[in-house]
Amino acid sequence: MQAACFQASRATPPTIYHGVVHLFRVEIPPPRDLFELDDLLGWKPWLKGQVHTEIIPGRHGVHLLEPHVATLAKKLRAAIEANSTCRTR
């Protein structure tokens, strides 16, 4: 999966995003040599809108497994609902 992510990032040139972003970070960060570990996980040059950061329990790789994925799902649902509410005003 990581190879597919890297391939997609090379194939699609990044553009600046001005909208609202909900960034989900794990409680236990991955090793520094694997990922960007700044506050926005390397997204800062591409994000010009408002960023909401949510911390989810666990570490990278485990955050998509029970019981942590339930917390991620709950926070993701809340972010989607908040964004939908903003659009209808």
pLDDT exceeds cutoff 90 at 13: no
Q: What is the 3-state secondary structure (H, E, C) of 23-57?
A: EEEEEECCCCCCCCCCCCCCCHHHECCCEEEEEEE
69 φ, ψ (degrees, to nearest 5): -65, -25
The span from the CA of 58 to the CA of 66, in Å, is 10
pLDDT exceeds cutoff 60 at 89: no
The span from the CA of 23 to the CA of 18, in Å, is 14
Which tens digit of pLDDT belongs to each residue from 32-45? Answer: 777 666 888 888 99
Give mean pLDDT, residues 4-20. Answer: 83
pLDDT range class, residue 71, cuts 50, 70, 90? very high
Percent over 70 (pLDDT), the chain: 88
| pTM for the structure as a whole | 0.72
**Structure-token match 């809108």, residue found:** 49
Residue 22 host element (H or E): strand 21-28
